[in-house]
Amino acid sequence: MRVGIVGLGIAGLRAAALLEAAGAEVSLFEARDRVGGRLHTVDKGYGVVYEAGGEWIDADHHRVLALLHEFNLGPDPRVGWPKRLCWRGKQTREDLMWNDALEDDLRVEAAAREMCRDLRQPPWENTAFEDLDNRRLGDFLREHTQSERGLWWVMAKYRSDEGEDPDRVGLLGWLVGFMHYLGREGEEMSAFRIPGGAGALCQQMALALGAEPNLNSPLRRVRQGPDGVELIFEHGKEKVDAVILTLPPPALERVVFEPALSTAKRCAIEASEMGRVVKICWQFREAWWRGDEWSGSMQCDGPIQQTWDGSMGTAPILSAYVCGDDSVIWQNERNPVLAGLREVTRYWPEAQELYVRGWMHDWTRDPYAMGGFAHLAPGYVLEHMKHIAPPDGRIHFAGEHTASWVGFIEGALESAERVVGEIVN
């Protein structure tokens, strides 16, 4: 059996490895000139290395940890915690959180835990909770907080996790994701990074395959017939017995299907929303943020939102990760790197003097992602979620947006396991 895999992010690469192990022949296609997709480690030479895309692994992301083990890589424990918090000119640390914000945080968590008790998996079976599906996470956070500072903190915290403002996230969708966190003890979030970079891991995964990836091959059209699937790329065609498409939903929307996909599938793809995410990374002569009881991690109420020490090589890099409405500010800036640096300088004047150069990665305008990662928008779970993953004949769908760990590297791997099961069984 010959299976085409289109999209060589980590979901496609993992699916290829599992299929080869099961004895299938695979043909690999990727629109970009590299594998890895939204895992992209940038190496500018001279030790200037940073993650432009996905970066952090939670301690209970068991598939990612097992994959690292397979490649003889031990996960890199995070540095730079606890975060510094800056709100209206006042500063503290996450472990010394202001009491009002801490109480609000605990109140939100307790309310979410309580609501999760009545929910079940799979998420779309919670038909009795249509009201939750139509509500926004932002409203829930407003309802369960009492202080302005607490509201700011929980909004910032969950925006970072969802990759989008809580007002664009559905409450039921968020709660079914929160169910993953119920057994956590507190230190699991962003516990590790991938040693050498997530991009290097993807390259190693590609090298370990028997099949060679066909890069620079954007898929335009999929023609499904009784005896196979024809894949039509910008340059050339390929006939396979079955295909796995791992394209993020907005990229999938641009592909033409003959015959058309079912209405339910098309609506699910259209309704699957991606967060607006940018990363800005600055190189400095010295890591002025190290020492002094701090290591670069900050959450602030300014439009730079969040920073951390992003250095993956010897050169000091400070990374900012901005989601939602604030990301649009940087997209519209003529020089977002310098404008962002000015913002960092408001908190730390030494940044200006030690600055060398910087880069912005705008995932919302990336032609093959068109967003950071998926979140479950209001109304999505009950109407659309069950239609996003199932196959349409010989066409199978994978990628983080089709998983229960929506948005995460873990979810991309989960989707690869599911889709290979569909084909092999």
Ligand X SMILES: Cc1cc2nc3c(=O)[nH]c(=O)nc-3n(C[C@H](O)[C@H](O)[C@H](O)COP(=O)(O)OP(=O)(O)OC[C@H]3O[C@@H](n4cnc5c(N)ncnc54)[C@H](O)[C@@H]3O)c2cc1C
Nearer to ligand X, 251 or 298 (CB): 251
What is the distance between the alpha carbons of residues 117 and 384, in angstroms, rounded to a whole number? Answer: 23
> Is 274 among the residues that bind ligand X (CB under 6 A)?
no
We find the least distance from the C-beta atom of residue 177 to ligand X, in angstroms, to be 12
Task: Pick from 244, 269, 399, 404 the residue near ligand X by CB under 6 A.
Answer: 399
Compute the distance between CA of residue 386 and CA of residue 393 in angstroms, rounded to an integer.
16
Instruction: Decide: 220 and 6 in contact? Cβ < 8 Å.
Output: no
User: For 418, phi and psi rounded to 5 degrees?
Assistant: -60, -45
Q: Judge residue 28's burial from the number of C-beta atoms within 10 Å of its C-beta, 0-12 exposed, 13-18 middle, 19 or more buried.
A: buried
Hey, what's the torsion of the CAs at 289, 293, 297, 300, to 10 degrees? -100
- Please, are residues 24 and 424 in contact by the beta-carbon 8 Å criterion? yes
The 212-241 contact track toward ligand X, x by CB under 6 A, reads ------xx----------------------
What is the closest distance, in whole angstroms, from the C-beta atom of residue 208 to ligand X in the complex? 16
157 binds ligand X (CB under 6 A): no
Note whether 397 binds ligand X by CB under 6 A.
Answer: no
Residue 169 or 219: the one with the smaller Cβ distance to ligand X is 219
Among 308, 373, 380, 397, binds ligand X (CB under 6 A): 373
* 132 vs 179 by CB, closer to ligand X: 179
From 4, 7, 138, 150, residue interacting with ligand X (rule: CB under 6 A): 7
**If we measure between CA atoms, which residue out of 398, 403, 405, 373 comes closest to residue 276?**
373
Quote the distance between the C-alpha of residue 46 and its chain's center: 28
Residue from 297, 400, 414, 419 that binds ligand X (CB under 6 A)?
A: 400
Which range of residues in 47-55, 69-77, 286-294, 387-395 is near ligand X by CB under 6 A?
A: 47-55
Residue 150 or 275: the one with the smaller Cβ distance to ligand X is: 275
Peptide bond into 226 cis (omega under 30): no
Sign of torsion, CA 415 420 422 425?
negative
User: Which residue of 3, 5, 6, 269 would you call a contact of ligand X, by CB under 6 A?
Assistant: 6
Task: Select the residue interacting with ligand X from 409, 419, 420, 423 (CB under 6 A).
Answer: 409
CB atoms within 10 A of CB 122: 12
Shortest Cβ distance from residue 230 to ligand X (Å)? 15
As given in the structure block, the two tokens for residue 76 are 């890199």
CA 30: distance to chain centroid?
Answer: 19
By CB under 6 A, tell whether 363 contacts ligand X: yes
Q: What CA–CA distance (Å, rounded) separates 77 from 57?
A: 9
The size of the chain, in residues, is 425
Under the binding rule (CB under 6 A), the answer on residue 308 touching ligand X is no
* Of the candidate residues 41, 126, 145, 246, the single one contacting ligand X (CB under 6 A): 246
Cβ closest to ligand X, residue 197 vs residue 372: 372
* Residue 216 φ/ψ region, left for φ over 0, alpha for ψ in the -120 to 50 degree band, beta for the rest: left
Find the part of the chain contacting ligand X (CB under 6 A) among 74-82, 94-102, 110-118, 364-372.
364-372
- For position 154 contacting ligand X by CB under 6 A, the verdict is no
Nearest distance from residue 413's CB to ligand X, in Å? 9
CB neighbour list of residue 109: distance below 8 Å, 6 or more residues apart = none
Q: Tell me the site size for ligand X, rule CB under 6 A.
A: 38
Q: Please report whether residue 53 would count as binding ligand X according to CB under 6 A.
A: yes
Class of residue 103 by CB neighbours under 10 A (exposed 0-12, middle 13-18, buried 19+): middle
Binding residues for ligand X, rule: CB under 6 A, are: 6-12, 29-32, 37-39, 53-56, 218-219, 246-248, 251, 277, 279, 363, 368-369, 372-373, 399-400, 407-410, 412
